[in-house]
Structure 1
């Protein structure tokens, strides 16, 4: 779709592009959402692609993902064998309601900043204890927990003109044991619910992350593995207003699935720990 209100496109922004931002601007990365809907308030696009933020780095500290890395880039990444949770990277890529063409354009950062409940990059980064590096229009930076970034359906903590520069996933999270469950109405459909559980090696802790069925990610942490009743109570305690309602599922349906899948994940992780 053409955006008929655009009067200018900045093709070669400075390395720190924030100070160039003004009302009516939009950061352009993959553009898969930007060009899919009318954008009547936009007057100028600032293209981030020339800045080379698409790189990914495997380090001793974990994984650094540039905000403009594509879903295809992430899917093709070779990871160390000791990263037992690395399969979740590919699983999350496969959770996209998207064709291979979108995979080659859509960016990790774009999916996160869209803040849709079913955004699988949000699921992945919250489940793997990621942090985000944000750049403001004044050139200052801040680091935020992935779990705190999305505040609601299509809503984030981003200030006007602020942008996501990179994602950091710590090596400790990538070495956890994990299990996941996902439900869709059709085989390749949008996620109705996406639940991920993790547990540190040789530890009794457990973390359950509920996404897609909620307007923002919900992270349930337990210092010791919960009983079935304790886990069900924690899911039941999620505020009724947080459960998402759209044609893919009612709040009641999603809450039921969250309890069911969380218990399956709890059992799987405990069985794996005992093996």
Structure 2
């Protein structure tokens, strides 16, 4: 029988998984896609929550499959993960350049009604991004994941393993969801005050994609050099690792209670403002 400590550990591991050294640069890349010039605050919150659910699904699906199916041959699989990380970084950087030129990413384009108003995002594309996020993160996070969740399955308790897995997913979703809602609401507020800022914000997001993609590609290249050429420390990786450690420390310091409070306060504020405007109208 698992105690509360096991679930607290699973929740903490999920929180930190979102800002792991291998894939943490993908988080700002994801957040950069959430600011749209045609969104109000309520619409931005809804899209941020839907996107977080999709991203979490893709992330934990890869971890679940890897932990239960691929773990026996993990050593032979993991050596190819840096190649995927390198390719993913190049694709992200290319996507950023595409956005910088004023174009819209096809995979994140809004489906529109006949009136031209945004209806929803392509959910599957965000699930795919979450899966890519997980694959880029596996090298750094699969060990604590296996220790926390898969151990419970192997001990013969399927129910406890499922509960720990859900707790791990909840931790990851809470951190990403809080960040997504805050960024989406803040971005919608900026655009609502200055409609002309929409195209500028889109290009800022493209710039973030370029920087994140270049770092992810460099990290994958560095991992390949470590595996095959015995490379040592790298100043770019070490500098980014310092930022990652700060983010991980901040996430652990806030804990799930602090993140939940932030999320609820933002949601309540947006809900109250929306109700007030409709009541006033």
Structure number with greater CO (CA < 8 Å, separation at least 6) is 2
TM-score by length of 1: 0.26
Structure with the larger strand share: 1
Structure with the larger helix share: 2
